[in-house]
Structure 1
């Protein structure tokens, strides 16, 4: 099978209406697939003013606002017009990127039509529940996800650390790594701008601690704030730079009132802000890969991160940064103090992180998805022949 023989129906809960790492990875994947001659059609909720233009053909799927997080949409069904569009497109791969209602419906459609189904994991949705005091529902959420992923030929995980958890949770036996790359033209150390820092009132001898991402509780905002408070007791010069936007910003501003909040930045402005920091602090334990961690490394920043998926696949403790207990603010504070007292260590770990980031080429990484698609089609074909044989 050639790449030009592939017809991919991609289902996403958020393809482009809110900017985050998952949908940017999907858009980059679609761009790569189209360049290889793959036929792609994307099915996702849409809004009047999306965060950025979609890559490829986008078909709107009915959705409702997510309770408590109304900036996100929850796809709720595949109406007849979407099913007709899907049948007319005639895919040989159905790729779902979120375990929502429409993801389940799309996999059901694929099975009924003997089409290969692939699921990609972009975040650990089951871990979100604890941040909204719903941890009692975690077993149910995992059971639902397990049923969905078992019905797919292949599951794509962004890192081996995430794949190991998925295997332990018995999500699927066939798990392939689809990592994430970095745009090194955008994220690189040359973006560092001391004049920009000074314009924000940051002194040259102040260590700038960066937060980057959606400002939502599941990113570990409480631990971040507690770590900054604990670090402040050391009396070492520092400033906090928060890059991003989100519904928890008012709460976060109250917790770290001394921080500089840039709001959402994109493109060159985002790269300049990140590269102008001195280190990156990422307490999140909900990541499946950690795109922002890789972006920081590409800017030559050492990373202090929670020892969990999304970090352990990128951060080498004592080499490119520090891995600490994601629930222990004091451990984060101690790591911050270590870097604040030793600028040479910051530089050495930053250089090591940059060397890792320079190996993460997007096209090489995305080529693994095409191989996974072809493998899924072979598996689906073998299953269909077994079914036909048993029926005769």
Structure 2
């Protein structure tokens, strides 16, 4: 079987889309499935590992998001590639100009197509002060995804939300966790010492892009409230983005690491105690599962991964979306009770430890094979 991925982002980019595609591609390669990749040409000219056939197209960087490159339409190049080496199925992960171009060519050539709804662009409209565009953004996304055979989302809640907005053929492809990599066994006393944290001193961690859509005002308010009641709390923020300077001014005592590699990230998770995650913009939120696998006590809204994985009070603490006062209250309460965040962390790891990417890849292949069979049946019917 040959599968073609079309995406504006790929490893080593640091984001949820690249994270998911990286795990899927490694699992598929291990099953001896041939992979094609269509993506914007990286600035360093590198080629993707484990890909049999790669087409790189022209692209441009988004202002303020230099880490992200958007692919330009490449209809002719796509047609040449797919006519020469026809894939059995196409997975379009991003809805930019390249994704639209790929969708047109795939439909013209009769290729089965699935799409991924990885990013809540309609939600971002409000976060960036153009909420009046939300309806238009939703309409454009709906038009795109409804022209594919299936739209894959990470949670059942997302299926219900998109279906209510008129999206068709929405199916769940959840997310996995590498519980061998993200593990409490990687707790590092030397790293904690570098933060100024002694053995039983609480450490609160946040991991994520430092941008408007991540609800960072609430993060600041939560950390300030936690420090008022627990003055020896150490706060560590992993990630980068346009609001990092602002956050450093507002949280002068916090430790800012910037982006770190995967191995270091696992040590940072395991060396903390509490994970504070106030964002509601994710379709999933891999960092929540990573924190849970690392045995952290998680405080989050009842949304996306946290909603799927946490029963509040058992594997973590969740509050209704939008109830910021309750979020702060839970964070403040948790940082005062080491036994509570230790117990939540142990149960959190048990909850996610068996959710491997092999099972997620099974679901992905099942959906693509179903689309291929439907496409083959339609082709055979036309020949009769």
Segment of structure 1 superposing worse, 79-88 or 214-223: 79-88
Whole-Å separation in 1 of the counterparts to 2:98 and 2:190: 48
Greater mean deviation of Cα atoms: 180-189 or 194-203: 194-203
Q: Does 1:62 align with 2:53?
A: no
Match in the other structure for 2:264: 269
Equivalent residue for 2:137? 141
Displacement of 1:194 in angstroms is 2.3
The answer to whether the 8 A contact 2:40-2:72 is kept is: no
Select between 8-17 and 366-375 the one with higher mean Cα deviation.
8-17
Output the CA distance in 1 between the equivalents of 2:379 and 2:131. 39
Map residues 31-46 of structure 1 onto 2, 5 A cutoff.
31-46=26-41
Give the Cα separation in 2 of the matches to 1:50 and 1:339: 47
Number of residue pairs the alignment of both structures matches? 383
1:231 equivalent in structure 2: 226
**Contact 1:95–1:118 (CA under 8 A) maintained in structure 2:** yes
1:74 aligns with 2:70: yes
Quick check: 1:310 aligned with 2:305?
yes
Task: Say whether the 8 Å CA contact 1:43–1:60 is kept in structure 2.
Answer: yes
Question: 1:157-192, CA deviations, whole angstroms, 9 ceiling, x for partnerless residues?
Answer: 1121222212222211x2322111112221101111
Contact 1:300-1:351 within 8 A present in 2 as well: yes
Question: Post-superposition shift, 1:123?
Answer: 2.3
Equivalent in the alignment of 1:14: 9
What TM-score, normalized to structure 1? 0.91
**CA 1:97 to 1:189, structure 2 compared with 1: closer, same or farther past 3 Å?**
same
The one of 175, 180, 183 equivalent to 2:178 is 183
Distance 2:190 2:28 in 1: 40
Please state if 1:106 is matched with 2:102.
Answer: yes
CA contact (8 A) 1:17 1:51 kept: no
Partner of 2:315: 320
2:309 match: secondary structure? coil
Give the structure-2-normalised TM-score. Answer: 0.93
Shift of 1:199: 2.1
In the alignment, what sits opposite 1:48? 43
Cα offset for 1:81?
3.1
Alignment correspondent of 1:381 = 376
How has the CA–CA distance of structure 1 residues 272 and 52 changed in structure 2, closer, same or farther, with 3 Å as cutoff? Answer: farther
Q: Corresponding residue for 2:122?
A: 126
> Which residue in the other structure is 1:163 paired with?
159
Unaligned runs of 5+ in 1: 1-5
Q: Alpha-carbon deviation of 1:130?
A: 1.6
- 1:269-294 deviation per Cα after TM superposition (whole angstroms, max 9, x unaligned): 11111111101111111111111100
Q: Which runs of 5+ in 2 are unaligned?
A: none
Q: Return closer, same or farther for 1:383/1:285 CA change in 2, 3 Å cut-off.
A: farther
In structure 1, C-alpha distance between the alignment counterparts of 2:90 and 2:272, rounded to whole Å: 41
Secondary structure at 1:261 match in 2: strand
CA 1:19 to 1:110, structure 2 compared with 1: closer, same or farther past 3 Å?
A: same
**Structure 1 consecutive aligned stretches of length 4 or more whose deviation exceeds 6 Å:** none
Note the aligned Cα RMSD (angstroms): 2.1
The separation in 2 between residues aligned to 1:46 and 1:100, in whole angstroms, is 15
